Structure 1
Amino acid sequence: MTATAALLAEALQAHGLQLRGGFAVQPDEGLGAVTDGRPVTSLWMVGVVGSAFWPTFVASSFYRDGLPDPLDRWSQSIGDALAQRLGGRALYPFDGPPYHPFQRWADRAEVLQPSRMLLRIHPQFGLWHAYRFALALPQALEVQDVAHIQTSANSSKPPGACGSLPGTPPTAQGVSAPRFETGLCATCSGQPCLSACPVGAYSTAGFNLAACATHLHTEAGQPCMQAGCQARRACPVGAEHRYRPEHAAFHMRAFAAGRGHAG
């Protein structure tokens, strides 16, 4: 592991965050230069796995100050500090419009697949991971910096279930499901995510946003609000990384209020 990767991994561990992978940036990708004029040559993805970051976040002033978007502000404070330390720029999925292509970057940085829940599945972490920011750096990324991450993803779970990562945001009408001829969802026994939703919001046809949103604002929807999406929790991949109830509830409140996806 190079000095840059080691520095990042150590700094992120203090916050419960993880270095999730990265890739070399080509000159024509439009990421430009860093503040001192050097070109961006690598993009490093930073994210969360399970609820490892949760104790650090809830102990922060951002969680307690009562202002909007505490998790985004907490992430930005960490990302901006690391970018300044390394002479780069921090990029965030909530910056926009226009928004940065975090899904495409994630696919380049790690081994991921689409899932029945219109999110990206990680073979080890299932649905229980997300990206908080990316670091555009002038330092070159070496193969050994990310090889251990991709090797772990390839070998940690056999095919046979479904899982995810924040993916395409739904429209008011819902989202059509991708095709699943191969991969974890195609080989998942019984595909329990499709039958776990109390209002059948997920199906092979896609996601019914209206049914989900209406349910969350009823008394019957409180189990989903308090413990997280039941369809998501039904996925067997990475079940050991499921979010803590209070962590899941935090994301569900934001989702129900129309301020983003369910984490």
Structure 2
Amino acid sequence: MTASSFASANPQPCYARIAKAAQVPGLMIYGALHPAKQPVALLTSGTLVLLGTGEGFWPIFSRSREYVEALPDPVDQWSTRVISDLATTLGAKAYFPFDGPPYVPFVNWALASGSAFTSPSQMLVHDEVGMMISFRGALHFDQSFDIPPPVLAQSPCATCTAKPCLTSCPARALVDGGPYDLAACHHYLDTPAAAPCMTEGCIARRACPLSQGAKRCFDQTAHHMRYFHQS
């Protein structure tokens, strides 16, 4: 079905249908907003739906051509193909966080959606997947339609007294208010002690209580870590 035929048959998109369609390839909605009500960069109207990896992502992606054939940047290539197909089917325009420069303002959009917040370490924290956020794309619809309110009324960090995102990093690369010490992080990842970070994921990100909501498998996390810290 083309975007035009879909729009003709279904002039008003439905949030629930979008969520269901995104779930098929292992994605989930990470937030949504109306740019006319919540001003953001680049967009002024309609409805914006942010998509990220969900619990079912890795089993599906790891069987994909992009992964099996070890194509360059396989997650990005997979995301472009899958989310572009969703955009065509649902009658939307697709945006991606890795297209650029110039890059699409995904952090701005995420914060405006009310589903993501700035943690003390300055990394984003999401109301469902914590700090295991993996934005893969966004769908922008010309129409304005109903979207559910964010899960949380305020940042979860406001009531988090332990602040494990700051205290658990073995490289001490994260401090309250930032900046993130990228060099210290990479230096630590070169040491044998960093094996748990490389195979199970960033300890600081995993330490966030909400990160359990991502239900991220270690294979997926290890894949991302290999791209983040390439030898």
Written as runs of structure 1 = structure 2, the 5 A alignment for 1:1-263 is 3-26=13-36, 30-31=42-43, 41-49=46-54, 51-138=55-142, 140-143=143-146, 146-147=147-148, 150=150, 153-154=151-152, 183-204=155-176, 206=178, 207-257=180-230
- Percent identical residues: 37
5+ residue gaps, structure 1, are 33-39, 160-182, 259-263
- For residue 252 of structure 1, give the secondary structure of its aligned residue in structure 2: helix
Q: Report if the CA contact (8 A) 2:122-2:177 is conserved.
A: no
CA separation in 1, counterparts of 2:13 and 2:204? Answer: 41
- 2:4 counterpart residue number: none
**Which amino acid in structure 2 is aligned with residue 137 of structure 1?**
F
Task: Give 1:205 deviation, angstroms.
Answer: 5.3
Q: Report if the CA contact (8 A) 2:41-2:108 is conserved.
A: no
- Change beyond 3 A, Cα 1:217–1:92: same
- For residue 134 of structure 2, give the secondary structure of its aligned residue in structure 1: strand
CA separation in 2, counterparts of 1:86 and 1:124? Answer: 24
Question: Which aligned segments of 4 or more residues in structure 1 are displaced greater than 3 angstroms?
Answer: 25-32
CA separation in 2, counterparts of 1:71 and 1:11? Answer: 19
TM-superposition CA deviations, 1:7-42 (whole Å, max 9, x none): 32222111111133322344996459xxxxxxx732
CA separation in 1, counterparts of 2:230 and 2:194? Answer: 14
- For residue 159 of structure 2, give the secondary structure of its aligned residue in structure 1: coil
- For residue 18 of structure 1, give the secondary structure of its aligned residue in structure 2: strand
- For residue 63 of structure 1, give the secondary structure of its aligned residue in structure 2: helix
Number of residue pairs the alignment of both structures matches: 217
- Change beyond 3 A, Cα 1:6–1:199: closer
TM-score by length of 2: 0.82
Q: Report if the CA contact (8 A) 1:117-1:202 is conserved.
A: yes
**Which amino acid in structure 2 is aligned with residue 142 of structure 1?**
F
CA separation in 1, counterparts of 2:49 and 2:60? Answer: 22
CA separation in 1, counterparts of 2:221 and 2:182? Answer: 18
Task: Give 1:120 deviation, angstroms.
Answer: 1.8
Q: Report if the CA contact (8 A) 2:47-2:145 is conserved.
A: no
- Change beyond 3 A, Cα 1:116–1:31: closer
TM-score by length of 1: 0.73
